[in-house]
Structure 1
Amino acid sequence: MLLVPFAIGFLAPGAAVEPPPGQPVFGFTDPEITESSGLVARDGLVVTVNDSGDSNRVFTVDPATGDTVGVTRWQGDATDIEALAPAGGPGSGEVWVGDIGDNTGARDHVEVARVPFGRGNREVDAPTYELTYPDGPHDAETLLADPATGRLYVVAKEFIGRLYAAPERLDPDGPNELSAVDEVLGIATDGSFTPDGKHLVLRNYGQAAVYTWPGLQRVAQVDLPRQPQGEGLAISESGEVLVSSEGVEAEVLRVAVPLGSSPSASSSPSPSSDADGSEQAPVQAEEQGSWWPWALGGIAGVVMVGVLLRSLRPRD
């Protein structure tokens, strides 16, 4: 009971202010798009996918109308698809699909598939790869693809998020073991690299955080517009940031996120070397949120325990 209020405090975004409004770009018109979770913006189109419970399919949407203009299906049965990431550069016409959800922490492996998108319906035989964690199962909703190297990354959806790197080359016969990189935004529901590969952006239900790459220093954190269940984020080739939400006819919003920030020399922690030789800067504790949500959560916890003990006291 004591832990619950502290957890709530950890997830609180900070000052109690009204989230900034987003600019509506379009709304999904397809009644089959009920739980938009992953989002990719490429080649003048938007790609999305429903999360848990849907089959192996992705929807290609025309942002000018919100209409679905293509559906791609591929072999196999989905377990819990939660994320998308661009595959290749502009014009590649492919996305990575992450079947990486694991709410019960029971999966011995998760999967990613490389799937074409575009106008028109199609059924394909998509290359599929198994991924395993080095430290046991994790639930995840964020799949990232480095635009410079093509390497995939998965972010565990936990109070303190953790970024995991896939092998540089995926073995189709698998399994491909992920390696832990660093701590990042908690309860991440989606994310994307910037087109130049110098930053990555992660979102949760209320905020977005911008990190340098590969240093992984957080250089910006912004509140996101209020959404029913915000689980999608995409960055177009021009740097436009879009966010989506679950729900039938959900809106896709354009939001202002500073993508070109650089850490100041005075605030930069000393980077440490990761296993692959790239520089990784540890996330500082203060970056996870301000102190007051913890304090309020702790006070609430004490009050709750006091009320409980009083209610259990024998009465004369």
Structure 2
Amino acid sequence: MREAFVVVLAVPFLVGAALAPAEPDRDVVFRFADTEIVESSGLVVADGLVTTVNDSGDSARVFTVDLATGETVGTTTWPAEPEDVEALAPAPDGDVWVGDIGDNSEARETVTVTRVPIGRGDLSASGTSYSLVYGDRAHDAEALLAHPRTGRLFVVTKSVLGGTVYAAPSSLRPGVPNELQRIGDAPGIVTDGAFFPDGQHVLLRSYGRAYVLDFPSLETVAEVDLPPQKQGEGIAVAPDGTVYASSEGVRSPLLRIVLPPSVERVLAAPPATQSPDLPDRPTPSADPNVAPGDPRQPAPPGFQRDPWQWALGGLLFVGALVVLLRALRPPR
């Protein structure tokens, strides 16, 4: 049983490792000079500064890096013991949201987002934290998004067969769990995401591919192959619309992603829906007797699963079943 569980957990990381050829030098903005940055996961770029955070296992800290040099120019710490920090999202007044939202075993009762200041110099912050809870069950997630106009937070879960986009309440309350509202589907193995400055398009990435979605319909309108990376985790859209991507590893590169003209045309076109945000109410159920969050509730419209995702899921199931049967076989 344990071996099968390990196989399933390892698959996303094996996918990332398979996409590990050297990246083209022409895409490299810099390499992180700070050897304390070993697993760049979350990423925010603004005002000539890059903010990043290490993957799970680090202390409560974020790094501020000079976009021109790759040198760390500031570190923010706060009193906390995070479980699995995976993501960053921009916050008002030059702050960032830190997403302690990872949950590989899908066992956490709540996850946490914390708002902290960033900038040049070493900062010690109290950190304003909020608990988030899914309405259905626990999920693993690595993407935290903040709407550029409303500031509302969104969490995108990570799953081989495709994830789910959840919206946090428009106003978070401290000291109590804030229930996440399911609003639609997402591609498979999402490792990070960000809004474009218009607030009407979302960029989600997996290890080797990026997806542009209309918001709030979450209809996929474009796809982009990303440059090969050791294990691509972070992606950010700067206020001027420039896209950057990071990956795990010491002295890993920050890449500038040049979007194809076809994608630029999509971003320039009017979106399918014009609503800047979502109402604070559960997604309507086709059956009024089915409670919000109930798995019998129909899925909202959004990303359509690709056939390869279902095929990969079937292979994973078969592989895990074979390992399980071998583990249960009595010794000869």
Query: TM-score, normalised to structure 2's length?
Result: 0.77
1:24-64 CA-partner distances (Å, limit 9, x unpaired)? 00110001000000000011100000011101100000011
The 5 Å alignment of 1:264-279 reads 276=281
CA RMSD of aligned residues (A): 3.7
In 1, Cα distance between the equivalents of 2:22 and 2:154?
A: 29
Rate the CA distance shift 1:263–1:290 in 2: closer, same or farther, 3 A.
farther
Does the 8 Å contact 2:193/2:235 carry over to 1? Answer: yes
CA distance in 2, matches of 1:111, 1:166: 11
The DSSP-based 3-state class of the residue aligned with 2:51 is: strand
Correspondences of 1:90-169 after superposition (within 5 Å): 92-159=93-160, 160-169=162-171
CA distance in structure 2 between the aligned counterparts of 1:36 and 1:73, rounded to whole angstroms: 16
Gaps of 5+ in 1: 13-17
| C-alpha spacing 1:97/1:275, structure 2 compared with 1 (3 Å) | closer
**How far, CA to CA, are the matches of 2:184 and 2:83 in structure 1?**
27
SS of 2:121's equivalent in the other structure is coil
Q: Cα deviation per residue 1:95-147 (whole Å; 9 max; x = unaligned)? A: 00001111111211110011111100010111110111111111111000011
Inter-CA distance 153–68: structure 2 relative to 1 (3 Å threshold): same
Alignment of 1:1-316 (within 5 A): 21=24, 23-88=27-92, 92-159=93-160, 160-257=162-259, 258-259=263-264, 261=266, 276=281, 282-283=301-302, 285=304, 288-289=305-306, 294=311
Whose helix fraction is larger, Structure 1's or Structure 2's?
A: 2
User: Tell me, what secondary structure is at the counterpart of 2:311?
Assistant: helix
Alpha-carbon shift at residue 93 of structure 1 (Å): 1.6
Post-superposition offset of 1:283: 2.9
Instruction: Measure, in 2, the Cα distance between the counterparts of 1:19 and 1:103.
Output: 28
Amino acid aligned to 2:37: I
**Quick check: 1:181–1:274 contact (8 Å CA) kept in 2?**
no
Do the aligned partners of 1:210 and 1:221 also contact (CA within 8 Å) in 2? yes
2:166 partner SS:
strand
In the alignment, the residues of structure 1 paired with residue 207 and residue 83 of structure 2 have an alpha-carbon distance, to the nearest angstrom, of 23
AA of the residue aligned to 2:208: G
CA gap 1:48/1:106 in 2 versus in 1, 3 angstroms = same
Distance 2:64 2:81 in 1: 20
Q: Kindly, what percent of the aligned residue pairs are identical?
A: 50
Q: Distance in 1 between matches of 2:194 and 2:264?
A: 11
Structure 2: state its 5+ residue gaps: 16-20, 285-298
The number of residue pairs the alignment matches comes to: 289
Taking structure 1 as the reference length, the TM-score comes to 0.80
Cα deviation 1:148-201 (Å, max 9, x = unaligned): 111100011112110011011000121111111100111110000001211010
Q: Which runs of 4+ in 1 moved over 2 A?
A: 18-22, 256-260, 262-265, 273-281, 288-295
3-state DSSP class of the match of 1:261?
helix
Answer whether contact 1:161 1:187 (CA < 8 A) is retained. Answer: yes
